[in-house]
Structure 1
Amino acid sequence: MFALVKILFALISAFFVYKTISKQCNKYLAFVIIALWLRFTLSAFHNLTYDPIFAGFSINALASIGIAFAGLLLLPPKVIALRSLLWLYIFLACIVISGLVNMRLMGLINVMVKWCVFLAIAGALFMAIRKMGKDLVLRKVLVAFLLPVSLQIMSVIMGEVKATEADGSASYIGGYNHEAAFSMIIASFTLVVGLVSSKVIRFRAALFALGCVLVILANYRTSILAILPMAAMFAFSLVEGKVATRHKPVFYVLSLFSIGLAFLGLSYTMQDRFADIFVFLSSWQDLIKAPEYYSEAEKDIFSARVYIWSLYIHAYVLADPINQIFGMGPEAWNGVFKKYAHNTYVSYLYEYGIVGVLAFFTAVGSFLVQAFKTNDRKFAWLLFSSMIGFLIMNLATMPLWNIEGLLLYAVLIGVTISPVHDAKEVSLKTSPVSSNLARN
């Protein structure tokens, strides 16, 4: 029955996507919308799109390759050569070196295709914002999320629920395959709503609240934690603008108190899901040890994540010096460990070594600095908190391994590297680079 619901809403969403890209939409924005919608739609029909159909590639994999190449061919060369992406390219170079040193060629290809998807979406979003303005672009991008949001709402209405593997709790994920990837889609929707100005979208606060509720219903802990910084900043900025200047000191104190109470309330209402996190935070120093010293009870903490991290870190410590420097190679965990690391930073240390991890931290740090330097201070804080939330998500899962997570980060970076955020500024020649891009 729910399969028919998927088909119906897929057709409805396709109609709205067509209507959106056919009016006031350049080729770059159209590409972003279609690419996001295509990925979300194919993932909804995972029973058909996840199985290999040609040369070991699934429909999803072939679509990702197509998105990557189409996007990179669409972009002007100067977008690919943006100086703001320099540290990201250094990190990608570390991946290539690690792959060649360890002869992990298939893993290298898989990882690079994913990052090409990231570059295609981030670059196209950069061009779209430069030409049309941030608010108009992000408002139109929201149409790509119509299908997953609608399906999740329908799954709640129809009782289409999935038992979470770890503890059997209910996850409403709209018939998608796994709550991890799906929660990243809903988190993306929520963050995009938060980044759009209230002047260009109706019921922005209600839509943002809906997104937060849907993230909770997806019931994936790391995504819930990731959305908290943006939710706190969104609520703060929403009220702060209405408070008189003389009352703002009191407002700031009350805001901190309210955020603390909200966090405690969320922790209490979802204590069964977050109990392991508090156990880990209160005894992390006792959990830093070789995996063979873990008791059966300790292995279960945080859905076995802490034990899994220990396996990876212990293997890295025992590795040869050359592997400690450059890592074991892209996706080297596959075939060695039963599960991926459930932590981007631990996984990157194992796969790309200390050089790769340092390059990655420098790259994400440079994007954080760019976000914080945005001229619109209120928007800067919203963008900065969104990126902090994404980095929190990487602590207990691997969104940069999932295409859905890479798409989320691509949207954040595409907005971050686009210094023109006001539609009125789009026509201004802010730099020689922007004037050259405008002619392409």
Structure 2
Amino acid sequence: MTEGVVFGATLPPWLLYPATLLIVLSLALRLWRVPSAIAAFTCFALAFRYLAAAHHTFTYSPSPIGLSWNALGSSAVFLLGLLLIRSRHLLLKQLIPCYFLIAIVILSGLANHTIPKIIDVGVKFGYLVIMTIGVYEGLLALGEKRMTNLLLWAFAAPIGFQALSIAFHVVKASEGDGSVSYIGGYNHEAAFSIILATGLLIACFATGIALWRRSLLLFVFMAAIVLANYRTAILAFAPLIVTQFNLDIVSRFSPRQRSIIAVALLGLSVLGVLSAAWMFRERFQDIVTTFESIDKLIKPQSEYTMAEKQLLSARPFIWSAYIEAYIDGSLRNHLLGYGPDSWIGVMTVYAHNTLISALYEYGLLGVTAFVVLWATMLYASLWAPAGVRGKLIAGHLSFLLLNMATMPHWMLEGDILYGVLCGYTIYMLRRTADERKPMKMPTGAVNAPFAGGLVTEVAPKPRPNMLKP
């Protein structure tokens, strides 16, 4: 143990409260000048959640009505967003899979008589819808450059608190290998890493700032994720990071040179990934061991050895309990699961995999609903403009990877992350549709061939007949 290091999960009050006051004042001043109410609300929703999570010793405690203060605040933000968004945007086609998922949650809760949990889980997915529409409308109101720059202000709290935890050596010892996590006084490195990943995602799309500033921001978020020491987030967002830096470099060359540069960058990226794997080889050694013996890990929990239980922070061991319980269930459980949040009080920890958890809670229909939602948004990203298509696809793939070893949809931080990604995806899909709309031709316009296509040009007015008296 390092001498002089304080092991804990909360910043001391004499650090936390003055920093919070400074951040709140700065955010209030910035949001006051935003001309769009929905854009200001979206930034506020992110910042509110991130500040509330930092004060978890109070916000996670129960209020007089039983719900935690955090749940009450999140519900209030959800209702405020529902009042501010345009109701017609609730009918966006890309949101239909989300409504299908909410319907499955309700059906599962009713079938298993876990009705109180329906509200809690329903609000989480409703929050996802509100965040998606909020980002979409904010982009329509302010434009891509101003909206992404505005959203970055919400990360003053997590980045600032992490910097304080580094400066004052407030860390959390969360792994058995002796490593520590700088999580800025937040409750858990999973939620904190997802917050940082959201900032990384927004920074990738922040085109309104100079390239060197955006590169600096990306480096800050990447370093912050590494210091948070949550392996799942580090691995999951590697595709987005590699894609982002490659596209930034390639875009600075002429179209004729880009193919050659892309091949060279691909080789450098492979070397970079291999170098990173070598640097973190001890931290990720059990991943290799797990994949080498994956066929031996598909078995009941009672057959696991002590060494096998430790692999991937016990994830295969945890997954086997959920799968075994699902197999032993009735036909109703196979179709609709055991109900929303039914693992609480039954399993030791949550499933650490969205699909395995969905299989247990919502059955085959729930797994189908998640897959349809992810596939819909990923398909929509394929139609984005060429300049952002690669980053959007990489962002969706990173989010899918994240779901394979943790459960971002179970945390509001994860639903915010996916809401930002989906809102930006739908906005880019609309931009593509607008660009493909045929332009209205002025009166007297004709189509003339030019450079292998059609361009619009106005037919010349007929000259007056000078011979006429």
| TM-score (norm: length of structure 2) | 0.87
Match of 1:128 in 2: 138
270-279 or 212-221: which moved more? 270-279
**CA positional deviation for 1:246:** 4.2
> How does 1:247-258 map onto structure 2 within 5 Å?
247-258=257-268
Work out whether 1:273 is the aligned partner of 2:308.
Answer: no
Write the distance in 2 (CA, Å) between the matches of 1:241 and 1:116: 38
2:405 to 376, 388, 396: 396
- Give 2:162's aligned amino acid: Q
Asked if residue 378 in structure 1 is aligned to residue 401 in structure 2, the reply is no
Is 1:222 the counterpart of 2:232? The answer is yes
Of the structure 1 ranges 392-401 and 111-120, higher mean CA displacement relative to structure 2 is found in: 111-120
Partner of 1:112 in structure 2? Answer: 122
Q: 1:295 maps to which residue? A: 305
**Whole-Å separation in 1 of the counterparts to 2:120 and 2:204:** 32
Find the residue that maps to 2:184 and give its secondary structure.
coil
Aligned to 2:293: 283
For the 8 Å contact 1:139–1:201, the answer to whether it is kept is: no
Match of 1:318 among 318, 325, 328: 328
The more displaced of 53-62 and 225-234 is 53-62
149 and 417 in structure 1: CA distance in 2 versus 1, 3 angstrom threshold: same
Q: Are the counterparts in 1 of residues 34 and 40 from structure 2 also a CA contact under 8 Å?
A: no
Classify the secondary structure of the residue corresponding to 2:63: strand
Alignment of 1:34-433 (within 5 A): 34-197=44-207, 199=209, 203-375=213-385, 377-419=386-428
Structure 2 distance, partners of 1:71, 1:111, is: 17
Q: Distance in 2 between matches of 1:277 and 1:33?
A: 37
| 4+ long deviations beyond 4 Å | 198-202
SS of 1:170's equivalent in the other structure is coil
What is the distance in 2 between the residues matched to 1:228 and 1:295?
Answer: 32
Deviation, 1:24, is 3.4
Q: Distance in 2 between matches of 1:14 and 1:420?
A: 34
Q: Which amino acid aligns with 1:249?
A: S
Q: In structure 1, give the amino acid aligned to 2:379.
A: V
Paired residue secondary structure (1:335): coil
Structure 2 distance, partners of 1:166, 1:406, is 29
- Write the deviation string for residues 68-97 of structure 1: whole angstroms up to 9, x where unpaired: 111112222211121111112112111111
Distance 1:408 1:180, change over 3 A: same
Query: Which residue type is aligned with residue 399 of structure 2?
Result: F
Equivalent pair of 1:134/1:420 in contact (CA under 8 Å): no
In 2, Cα distance between equivalents of 1:314 and 1:421:
44
1:9 equivalenced with 2:5 (yes/no):
no
Q: Which amino acid aligns with 1:402?
A: M
**Counterpart Cα distance in 2 of 1:71 and 1:267:** 42
CA change 1:332–1:351 in 2 (3 A) is: same
Residue identity opposite 1:38 in structure 2: F
Q: Match of 2:282, SS? A: helix
Q: Matched residues in 1 for 2:364 and 2:288: separation?
A: 29
Gaps of 5+ in 1: 431-440
Q: List runs of 5+ in structure 2 lacking aligned partners.
A: 1-10, 440-469
Task: Assess if the C-alpha contact under 8 Å between 2:148 and 2:206 holds in 1.
Answer: yes
- Letter of the 1:324 counterpart: H
SS in 2 for 1:302: helix
C-alpha distance 162-44 of structure 1, shift in aligned 2 (>3 A) = same
Deviation at 1:331, TM superposition (A): 0.6
Matched-pair contact (CA < 8 Å) for 2:59–2:69: yes
What SS is found at the alignment partner of 2:427? coil
Deviations 1:222-264 (A, max 9, x none): 1111221110011111111123444433323322222222222
Note if contact 1:193-1:204 (Cα within 8 Å) is conserved in structure 2: yes
Q: Helix, strand or coil: the match of 1:54?
A: coil
CA offsets 1:418-437 (integer angstroms, 9 cap, x no match): 23787xx89x999xxxxxxx
How many pairs align?
A: 426
Compute the TM-score of the two structures, normalised by the length of structure 1. Answer: 0.92
Distance of 2:231 and 2:35 partners within structure 1: 36
Amino acid at match of 2:260: V
Distance 2:188 2:93 in 1: 37
User: Which amino acid in the other structure matches residue 335 of structure 1?
Assistant: G
Q: Deviations over 1:379-428 (max 9, x none)?
A: 12112111111111111111110111111111111111123787xx89x9
Q: Matched residues in 2 for 1:115 and 1:396: separation?
A: 20
CA distance in 2, matches of 1:43, 1:201: 31
C-alpha distance after superposition, 1:211-232 (max 9, x if no partner): 1011000000111112211100
Higher CA-based Rg: 2
Deviation of 1:55 (Å): 2.5
Q: In percent, how many aligned pairs have the same letter?
A: 34
Q: C-alpha separation between the residues in 1 aligned to 2:417 and 2:210? A: 22
